[in-house]
Amino acid sequence: METGLTKQTAEALPARVRGFIEASAADNTKRGYASDFRQFAAWCESAGQSALPASPVTVADYLAHLAQSGRKVSTIERAKAAVKMAHELAGHESPTGAKIVTVAVKGIRRSLGVAKAKKSPVLTVDVRAMLSALPDTLAGKRDRALLLIGYAGAFRRSELAGLRLEDVAQTAEGVRVFLPRSKTDQEGKGRYIGIKRGKSPATCPVRALADWLRAAGISAGPLFRAVGRYGTVKDALTPQSVALIVKRAARAAGLDSSAYSGHSLRAGFVTQGALNGATEANIMRQTGHESSDTVRGYMRIANVFTDNVSGLLGL
């Protein structure tokens, strides 16, 4: 049971309670927390300390150990969250709220800094270069559709990998995609995303998707799938496969593939939209962001030269 509960505590719970606990977080989150807590427990054992329940001093010492080991602030904060969840699920008061822990984390944040190393956004000029470098093969048609749908729809890599044909509807204006679940919608309320037809046949997301589906013979199920060496259409792509496709396309286009990731399509949508004058509200309607902080961060970068006073200095 990947929830941070001890085996003994988990087995003591009614089956239906365990079921709801297991459904309380996304699979990736549960796996991450479980892995983090196992590492914490192993460290406690080597240090002769109790992991569950753990004392505030033990937790603060462990977080300091992670910081001195070169771990990122985000990794340290996730470890703290894993310890908190494990204690709460096991019926113990969490030590992470103690003053010594909060002060230690504050010091770690100030010492290490919290700026995230962002991957480069894929802009429209980059997308065109990537598309031009794709081979005229079945895998090439898939990659063309994936890049264009991912970019125009501002999808996360996990969302692209999870799309199904049943969630896509053709309309006069383009395609309407129903996203049943996302990172910010763990309860599965779902939302619709519209992708308009492009003006150029070479870069139209709707046309590219239709070409891929027709060539692959897909009439139901996962939208984007692996393609074997001999053109065999296989199972659905994984999120990691989506990232690798973006990197491969970037490299083929002569770009630095290490600067791009699966998130680059989504980041590019926000950045290019801001450069082209899209409002924050309309960008967020497509991306599904609940907080404007992330969107504003990309918009600030995109608009750094808009009305920039350095151009008025007479240099």
Asked about 31 being catalytic, the answer comes back as no
The CA-based dihedral angle spanning residues 139, 142, 144, 148, taken in that order and rounded to the nearest 10 degrees: -160
Nearby residues of 18 by Cβ (< 8 Å), 6 or more positions away: 1, 10
CA-based max dimension of the chain:
75
CB atoms within 10 A of CB 62: 24
CA distance 35 to 283: 35
Asked about 247 being catalytic, the answer comes back as no
Single out the catalytic residue among 87, 156, 157, 225: 156
Question: 198 with 207: CB under 8 angstroms?
Answer: yes
Asked about 183 being catalytic, the answer comes back as yes
Asked about 298 being catalytic, the answer comes back as yes
3-state secondary structure of 169: strand
Single out the catalytic residue among 87, 141, 225, 263: 263
Closest Cα partner for 266 from 151, 184, 186, 135? 151
Single out the catalytic residue among 183, 207, 248, 296: 183
Asked about 80 being catalytic, the answer comes back as no
CB atoms within 10 A of CB 172: 5
CA distance 284 to 295: 7
3-state secondary structure of 193: strand
CA distance 5 to 85: 8
265 by Cβ neighbours in 10 Å (0-12 / 13-18 / 19+) ranks as buried
Asked about 156 being catalytic, the answer comes back as yes
Catalytic residues: 156, 183, 263, 266, 289, 298
